[in-house]
Structure 1
């Protein structure tokens, strides 16, 4: 492995034609230039220059290295600038893994703020439900996971991850607009025990079944889907009702569907998860800050 200072010195000797001129250009003494060239020759394993009278001529090894020296120095300069830019938040790449309702609400707002203030930071979005999204951070497949947890369930978080709470999302029930309880501001889950239900992802479905069991009934689940638009379409056609996160209310697509809060209130916690050491990466920390800001503008923690 060549030392960068030796390559820089060699490149300057070739450019100026002598040790003396290179020393003058770089601000070194001539003996220092001589020592660095000798050290580089030891790294190469062959002489780089031959003296012909008072002039210096490159050996075959020297000519080969000279063809690459400029490119090596240019690549190093680019790499140094990229690292400096990262530390200044001018650029960087952050991969976000989020569940669908966060991808449709929190993430677009946060990325819009990011693009306005730091256009050099590239954010990439992948979609995945927890707990898989958490494991993707641990495996290095993404940098930030947006995930949710329910208070009544025993859910394990990989110990490598740091949790950054964002907001408490109140659960709602989606009803057809013509449903008798659609006129209420809030509904009790126990009053819906005879309804046909549409269940969501595994984690949401587990919480739903747990809450129903706590009230002493087993719901009649006739459809299962983690696609929020499919859920809305099924509810709109009167094929069932669904317990859904409050975030979904901000993108209800059907006029024939209404969302009503649960009484007593039921909530899930939405958080960002990152590897502890990634909080020291400026671009990652910046995205987390934007997510916090967006969450704070909603009903937050």
Structure 2
């Protein structure tokens, strides 16, 4: 096996024309350079240098090995530049898992910000609905996953959760509903209404069921929908009422009224899941987390000025 470091030393000897000059340029002793050249010739199994006056010149084998040493040196320089760009966050790749209702409102503007600030970073997006994305994060198939998870949930080994946004649920009512004129609605006042389920059973539906239980009732679902836009269309058609997270509400269709609820107000906690060691190793991931935090903060401020706030 030929030692790459000795090949670079051979390159220095050939470029400078002598062992002594190469040793001086590299701040080595001439004997150390001579020993390394002897070891390299032993590895190559052929003479690489021959005397020429007071210096040395390469043999055919020496010239051949020098050409490869030059290529390797260039590749090492390119690798060092690429690593510097990666360390600085100028390049890189992040694989993201996300669920539908955060796509337009949170992920898209965060990625637009990331692209402006880190144009060399590539992103890979994949919907995680309905699968649990945490195994992908733990196994390294994803760098970050957006999840709905209560803040007091037990920790997951190897995963760090970064809180981003508290997404409150809003009551979506037919515009002629008896409570449509109220600015804020008591959740218990909706106990006897027909309900439209806007999320599949799981972490996004749980806050609604828990809030209703706290208000003393269980919602009577007459229509099941796993899409917020479709759920709102069912409300507009007069089939019932729905509780929809603010990020999923979007632009309500004609025929519905959106109101805040209280007593209690259901809220889902949106968090970013990353491997515990990832942020320190991936500047591109740190940039994505910063973009998500900034986008979530701006979303919170904007929401405070909406009519149902």
1:256 is aligned to: 255
Q: Is the 8 A contact 2:183 2:259 kept in 1?
A: yes
Residues 1:33 and 1:224: Cα distance change in structure 2 (over 3 Å): same
1:283 is aligned to: 284
Normalising by structure 2, report the TM-score. Answer: 0.80
Q: Is the 8 A contact 1:197 1:220 kept in 2?
A: yes
1:138 is aligned to: 138
Residues 1:242 and 1:64: Cα distance change in structure 2 (over 3 Å): farther
1:159 is aligned to: 157
Distance in 2 between the 1:167 and 1:192 partners? 26
Distance in 1 between the 2:85 and 2:144 partners? 21
1:177 is aligned to: 175
1:299 is aligned to: 300
1:186 is aligned to: 184
After TM superposition, the runs of 4+ consecutive aligned structure 1 residues lying more than 6 A away are: none
1:273 is aligned to: 273
1:95 is aligned to: 95
- SS of structure 2 residue aligned to 1:181: coil
Deviation at 1:142, TM superposition (A): 1.5
2:60 is aligned to: 58
Q: Is the 8 A contact 1:50 1:56 kept in 2?
A: yes
2:305 is aligned to: none
Q: Is the 8 A contact 2:147 2:270 kept in 1?
A: yes
Q: Is the 8 A contact 1:209 1:219 kept in 2?
A: no
Q: Which runs of 5+ in 2 are unaligned?
A: 302-309
Question: How many residues align structurally?
Answer: 293
Normalising by structure 1, report the TM-score. Answer: 0.81
- SS of structure 2 residue aligned to 1:166: strand
Residues 1:73 and 1:262: Cα distance change in structure 2 (over 3 Å): same
More deviation, 227-236/156-165: 227-236
Residues 1:47 and 1:156: Cα distance change in structure 2 (over 3 Å): farther
Distance in 2 between the 1:56 and 1:122 partners? 45
Q: Which runs of 5+ in 1 are unaligned?
A: none
Residues 1:257 and 1:45: Cα distance change in structure 2 (over 3 Å): farther
RMSD value, Cα: 3.1
2:195 is aligned to: 196
Distance in 1 between the 2:46 and 2:23 partners? 20
Distance in 2 between the 1:299 and 1:112 partners? 18
Residues 1:104 and 1:3: Cα distance change in structure 2 (over 3 Å): farther
Distance in 1 between the 2:256 and 2:155 partners? 35
Residues 1:111 and 1:176: Cα distance change in structure 2 (over 3 Å): same
Q: Is the 8 A contact 1:99 1:147 kept in 2?
A: yes
Distance in 2 between the 1:56 and 1:242 partners? 82
Distance in 2 between the 1:256 and 1:179 partners? 10
- SS of structure 2 residue aligned to 1:297: helix
More deviation, 290-299/263-272: 290-299
Distance in 2 between the 1:92 and 1:58 partners? 42
- SS of structure 2 residue aligned to 1:183: coil
Deviation at 1:195, TM superposition (A): 0.7
Distance in 2 between the 1:266 and 1:181 partners? 18
Distance in 2 between the 1:41 and 1:242 partners? 80
Distance in 2 between the 1:266 and 1:87 partners? 41
Residues 1:160 and 1:21: Cα distance change in structure 2 (over 3 Å): same
- SS of structure 1 residue aligned to 2:291: helix
Does 1:84 pair with 2:84?
Answer: yes
Distance in 2 between the 1:256 and 1:115 partners? 38
Distance in 2 between the 1:3 and 1:257 partners? 74
Residues 1:211 and 1:8: Cα distance change in structure 2 (over 3 Å): same
State the Cα deviation string for residues 176-201 of structure 1 (Å, max 9, x = none).
33333333222233333331312313
2:304 is aligned to: none
